[in-house]
């Protein structure tokens, strides 16, 4: 069964917005972890926060790419 144009538009808007937010938050968190590292914070503290920040950033990128897929389907 073919999905409606409205379904693709909603998915595009949701995934695009959430993806952009996660990407921005992830970059900010990565920079903050860099500051923690250079301020002499404990290894486990900045390393674990940096790893989680990279996961958030990559999740955002993935959702943005997924949003493009829904946009293409919406236009066809």
Model pLDDT for residues 19-56, shown as the tens digit of each residue: 999 999 999 999 999 999 999 999 999 999 999 999 99
Three-state DSSP at 17 gives helix
Report the pLDDT value the prediction gives residue 56, as an integer from 0 to 100: 97
Helices assigned H by DSSP within the chain:
5-38, 43-75
Q: What is the C-alpha to C-alpha distance for residues 61 and 70, in angstroms, rounded to an integer?
A: 15
Q: Please indicate whether residue 59 or residue 76 has the higher confidence score (pLDDT).
A: 59
Residue 8 and residue 70 in contact, taking contact as beta carbons nearer than 8 Å = yes
- CA-based end-to-end distance of the chain: 15
What's the pLDDT at 74?
87
Sequence ranges of the domains in the chain:
22-75
Write down the pLDDT at residue 1.
66
Indicate if the pLDDT at residue 68 is higher than 70. yes
Average pLDDT over residues 1-27: 92
């Amino acid at each position: 069964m073919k999905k409606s144009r409205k379904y693709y538009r909603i998915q595009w808007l949701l995934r695009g917005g959430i993806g952009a937010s996660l990407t921005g938050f992830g970059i900010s968190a990565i920079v903050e972890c860099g500051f923690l590292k250079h301020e002499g914070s404990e290894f486990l503290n900045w390393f674990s926060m940096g790893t989680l920040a990279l996961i958030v950033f990559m999740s955002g990128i993935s959702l943005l790419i997924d949003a493009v897929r829904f946009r293409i389907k919406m236009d066809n």
